[in-house]
Amino acid sequence: MSGEGMNSDQIAQVFGSLARIEQKIDSAATSLTQHVADDKEVAKALFGRIETLQLSHAKQKGALTVLGTVGSMLGAGVGYLIERWTVGHH
């Protein structure tokens, strides 16, 4: 390039290089878009599983509360019967 500018072969090479760069950018953008979509699906599935675990935990906690209440009521009933039996025999 001694002041003459670029010849047609050099210009063709530059435009060819630019076209390849543009293809790579488009490919990378498509790939990135797909990864984002995949990540959204994974996140959605993960949050669904977490929600299921939370619901299961809440059910277990509720069942334990019911069992605790029933146990307390049975204990109170047994205590009442023992008291009645011991007081009645004095």
Given a contact cutoff of 8 angstroms between Cβ atoms, the answer to whether 10 and 18 are in contact is: no
Query: How many Å separate Cα 50 from the centre of its chain?
Result: 6
Distance between CA atoms of residues 35 and 38, nearest Å: 5
The confidence score (pLDDT) of residue 80 equals: 85
pLDDT (tens digit per residue) in 29-76: 888 888 888 888 888 888 888 888 888 888 888 888 888 888 888 888
Residue 54: what residue type?
Answer: Q
pLDDT band at 87 (very low <50, low <70, confident <90, very high): confident
CA end-to-end span of the chain: 123
Given a contact cutoff of 8 angstroms between Cβ atoms, the answer to whether 80 and 88 are in contact is: no
